[in-house]
A and B are shown apart, each in its own frame.
Chain A
Amino acid sequence: MFAIVDYDTGNTRNLKKALDYLGIENILTSDPEKITAAQAVILPGVGAFEAAMEALRQRNLVSVVQKVAKDKTPILGICLGMQLLFDDSEEYGLHQGLGLIPGHIKAIPKQAGLKVPQMGWNQNQLRQKDSFFESIDQQFTYFVHSYYAECEERFLVASVDYGIEIPSIVQNDNIIGMQFHPEKSGRVGLELLKNFQKMVKTNDFTCN
């Protein structure tokens, strides 16, 4: 059973619909016991960083997610959920994240001709071989975000070019983050969710 962390953030239901469509057993829950018992934990998220952290704190879920991470349960953060996995974010002041992947969340610089938020389909470059997610190479996925992760190259699985290099998939052992929305990225996105399921089944995080 996969647990989708329910903390009143936007559009978690579309993610649930994608998992249902793929036949991946899942529950939408904020119950610490169910999250702790889950085979894998998915942390969705839309909105502002600190509001999301506060929503997790109110439900006493920060330590729960950190604990399952430590117990090597695979965790998949999506969009803002991926950003929460990092140390901190500069969105509306400096705010602390979950600290599961070393790195910082920064604003996408507004360069000539580039609109912020980055909203639309961008093409991924694989940055790490032998990953469960290598099918993403050269494929387009759907992004909606104004901030991006700055992290060491060893955590980078794939990235897109948006004036700067923006990490699209990151991984630190059992902790995975996807900046784009796999649940909105057509068959490529669905395949990535299936690959995550495969990774969970094999319990193999050896990509880095």
Chain B
Amino acid sequence: MLAKRIIPCLDVDDGRVKKGINFVHLTDVGDPVEIAAQYQKQDADELVFLDITETNQKRKTMIDMVEQVSQQVFMPLTIGGGVSSVDDIKQLLKAGADKVAINSAAVSDPDLITAGAEKFGNQCIVVAIDVKYDPETDKYFVYTHGGHQKTDLEAISWAKTVVEKGAGELLVTSMDADGTKKGFNIDLYQKLDQAVDVPIIASGGAGDLADFSEVFLKAKVDGALAASVFHYGELTIKDVKKHLKQKVVTVR
């Protein structure tokens, strides 16, 4: 059976990993290649790089970064952040990405999902969805532009739409849980699991070991993504996998 995936996420600003990573052996805390190599050593199952560079002119920097990381690190790489055209997807894949995550552009131009899937196969088209719970309607809504813009899209039906359009995987971040370290949003992922049949990566809320086993056991997601708990050494990937094995979750 497939192993559940543990995925560190790195924010990249102008080719450098933002805020730096607090590993013991790093000589350069912002170097994406060195950080990626460390995560490979720790047996991370995949890496997600999100380009948070504000200007579009710097896209070339991200492509160079992917090129360099993929010369040293031999594991699946997903790249997102500002991807808005078939040409963007093509260049990232050519540089060494295995998957490309589309977020805001999937909302403004849903046909981009289909165009990307038809040209490169749906296995490499990830749609990233940022969602926030709305207590008034008891529904989750989709936000774009790094969570700054609310849309009218209800998250579960949007998930179904993007899968119909050709998304091969969903990376879904609960904005409510993100940064709280109080656990993943189980309710959200249970609803998504029932709605779509492509792999789902849960993101937002990882704080301790039990959060990981909970999301895999209760919501049947395929992967769990986290940033700060790994970057600051609060948890190691090894710790998480050891814990998951004890809970009889299949991990690598």
Contacts and interface: CB of A to CB of B under 8 A. Distances in A.
Contacts of A11: 93, 96, 98
B179 interface: no
Contacts of A118: 2
Interface string B1-14: 11101000000000
Q: Which of B2, B70, B71, B93 has the most CB of A within 10 A?
A: B2
A142 B75 contact: yes
Interface string A112-155: 00010111111100000000000000001010100000000000
A121 B72 contact: no
Contacts of A109: none
Given A14-B96, A120-B2, A162-B1, A186 B121 contact: no
Given A11-B93, A13-B96, A144-B123, A122 B75 contact: no
Contact of B74 (A10, A47, A162, A190): A190
Contact of A47 (B3, B40, B75, B121): B121
B120 interface: yes
Given A186-B40, A189-B74, A120 B5 contact: yes
Interface in A33-47: 46-47
Contacts of B93: 10-11
A20 interface: yes
A185 interface: yes
Contacts of B2: 118-122, 162
A59 interface: no
A184 B98 contact: yes
Contact of B123 (A17, A117, A122, A184): A117
A197 B71 CA distance: 19
Contacts of B121: 10, 46-47
Interface residues of A, number: 30
Contact of B199 (A46, A120, A190): A120
A115 B199 contact: yes
Interface residues on B, range: 20 to 34
A50 interface: no
B5 A121 contact: yes
B214 to A, nearest CB: 20
A88 B208 CA distance: 49
B78 to A, nearest CB: 12
B74 A13 contact: no
B123 to A, nearest CB: 5
B168 interface: yes
B123 A119 contact: yes
A27 interface: no
B5 A20 contact: no
Nearest to A46: B121
Given A46-B121, A142-B75, A184-B98, A121 B252 contact: yes
B197 interface: yes
A183 interface: yes
Nearest to B95: A13
A120 B70 contact: no
Contacts of B250: 123
B130 interface: no
8 contacts: A10-B120, A11-B93, A17-B70, A21-B72, A120-B199, A121-B3, A122-B2, A186-B40
In the A-B complex, the 8 residue pairs with the closest CB atoms: A140-B252, A120-B2, A121-B3, A121-B252, A17-B71, A144-B123, A186-B75, A122-B2
